[in-house]
Structure 1
């Protein structure tokens, strides 16, 4: 892929992933509804910092390996395609009816507590690490320095998260109601699953 193609493809996939209801979205929605905009903004910032941490770890670790080994590139390509296919099939065949926004009723107060909750909730989720390690290398454009480009992709994903969380916080109640509707949740899951399957097929056929 060329640089523009890689950026467009990654932005589409990452954007769909960002707006699909999950643990991070639930945390920000719940915090905004129960604790207010400030706490939700700090929790969202913590989530974004967790994403950047995973992205940096994937970029520095995987980037050096990709630069040195065609075999490593092929293995990661197939692993990423298989992972995306698995995600897509599960989202299509087993779409959720709802996602829980409820959380513990007792949470530590203060800015650091909300920031830490978002950061650790993301950093300690192994699925996020697997996503970055298998996903970022697949969108590394031809002729670019892998580490720097993957850091750029991670930053793009983080920026999308900032925009999405800001939108959630600004319109907490109507968005929360809409996202709780079973039909909306199922549509988002199935649409994202179809896109992930398309990307999985493309990655499986991709050549370095």
Structure 2
């Protein structure tokens, strides 16, 4: 009798241990799925934030939204790889978020021009002339960081605007309207391109 009870007890322990292992593995699977879906949602949200930032024409907001979108892209790719390694199937809708965001981030020319125009506006409004040097350095640093993506024509355009920034305040007053018009056209093109990519 004792032997039978002991055997039954051991069998119960083994079954309980196996059940726990199954539950643990299924929980890990759910975690990978949730992580993948959360990363895709964050990527979609970051795209919308970037689009909203572009609409403000504020270089600080655009840069912050761009960094958020790049971070969301990296997180999505990491989560996707882990999810696929665990046997998950990639969703086309989520991959479209990644493709669209990659194309959007490639359009840096308008962003650089927008930063220069903002610098011009601050000079025209009578801010200290050191704003010229600060904005010039900001554009130069941005171009260095993005030079692999920017075409030779865009580099020339930004260099021309940079040279204009070194001129007198009076020169800015005469050419500001033309510079802003050109920049706004470029920004409008970028916005239209973004809207086309997102199907709006």
Answer yes or no: same fold by TM over 0.5.
Answer: no
Q: Which has the larger radius of gyration?
A: 2
Q: Give the TM-score taking structure 1 as reference length.
A: 0.29
Q: Which has the higher contact order (CA 8 A, sep 6+)?
A: 1
Query: TM-score, structure 2 length as denominator?
Result: 0.29
